[in-house]
Amino acid sequence: MKTLCALLIALLIPESLSQSACEESTASKIVGGYETDSEKHPFYTALVLSSQLKSNGSLLVVCGASLIKSNKILTAAHCYADRRKKGGNWMSELSAVFDLKNRCKGEYGASSSIIRVEIHPLYDPLTTNNDLAIATLSRNVLYDPVCLAPKGGGGISSAGYVVGYGATTEGGKSQPCKLMRAGVKIFPKNECLQTEIKQLIKLVSGIVCAGLKSGIHDTCQGDSGGPLVRFENGIEILQGLTSFGRGCGRANSPGVYTDVSYHRDWIDAQIGTSFISSLMRGSRCGNLRQTFGFIDFLS
């Protein structure tokens, strides 16, 4: 996301974070992870070019997303902002793919076109504030949605994981064939301000950070909009959406994620008060089969 460069300049960041660092701070941004079965993450949604679905070949994952209702997915605003500027049929350029078993072979469980996209009205591409959007599918899909973090639940530190089809190395040009997962530590903004990315997030609100102090485990190019998940009583909770970061997997440089709990009011308004995908409301969401394992933190 090149807009971060303008943000860095505005903050008068030292030359050590010059243009080259800006280019590495892409908001597209799984490093240090391992292959995982797509069936274990039924809510994970791959956003791919609609034109590729007709070819029956390999798919390029443009962004990740999460199913939060049978016909609604939650992703990052920056996945759609540039497309909206170009006009035309920008909402239908991407399609949602579920249970993507093998990206290289184009093997997946289901797909749906997208008929509507609501970008947060206060999304700011310069600061990356309010980096979230909700897309409406053309049909209901038979996959369990993920539970949303309750309002006000973004200030806690916990263990979690990220999944996606993004690059596995910083600057990598290719995507893995199978879904990747990596364990991370989730922590609030005040702790994130003690890291190497403090200048990047000074003007950003409604975020959480995630990663390991040593780096190694992180999201990377192609993971944008994808889920940051934590556990509560064995249930998976969507805490964040991949937004941006300084490179991929760098020490003391965690990834930055849009905080779902901070934005619950807007999200709930979009998906309807009759369906609040939250553990606190007892809705049918989350994956009880998942358990948190030490393998998540093995490099």
What residue segments make up the domains of the chain, in order of their start?
147-262+275-297
3-class DSSP state of 261: helix
Provide the pLDDT for residue 253.
Answer: 66
- For residue 25, which of 250, 260, 191 has the smallest C-alpha distance? 250
Distance CA 38, CA 227 (A): 13
Is residue 18 among the annotated active site residues?
Answer: no
Spatial contact of 73 and 53, defined as CB atoms under 8 Å apart: no
Active-site residue, selected from the candidate residues 66, 95, 131, 263:
131
Structural tokens at position 52: 């590729």
Q: With b meaning 16 or more CB within 10 Å and e meaning fewer, what string describes 41-65?
A: bbbbbbbbebebbeeeeebebbbbb
Distance CA 80, CA 133 (A): 8
**CATH code assigned to 147-262+275-297:** 2.40.10.10
Q: What is the DSSP letter of 89?
A: S
Is residue 95 among the annotated active site residues?
Answer: no
Average confidence (pLDDT) over 63-88: 93
Active-site residue, selected from the candidate residues 224, 243, 253, 278:
224
Structural tokens at position 73: 């997915």
> Which spans in 33-74 are helix H?
none
Active-site residue, selected from the candidate residues 38, 41, 78, 259:
78
Q: Percentage of residues in the chain with pLDDT exceeding 90? A: 47
Distance CA 115, CA 265 (A): 23
Residue 198 has pLDDT above 80, yes or no: no
CB contact set of 281 (below 8 Å; sequence gap of 6+): none
Backbone angles phi, psi at 207, to 5 degrees: -130, 160
Q: Percentage of residues in the chain with pLDDT exceeding 70? A: 69
Confidence band (pLDDT; 50, 70, 90) for 271?
A: very high
Average confidence (pLDDT) over 58-64: 94
Confidence band (pLDDT; 50, 70, 90) for 104?
A: very high
Structural tokens at position 127: 């600061």
> Which spans in 95-206 are helix H?
189-192, 198-201
Confidence band (pLDDT; 50, 70, 90) for 169?
A: low
Q: What is the DSSP letter of 32?
A: S
Residue 269 has pLDDT above 60, yes or no: yes
Provide the pLDDT for residue 15.
Answer: 32
Is residue 131 among the annotated active site residues?
Answer: yes
Q: Position 129: which residue type?
A: N
Mean per-residue pLDDT over the chain, rounded: 78
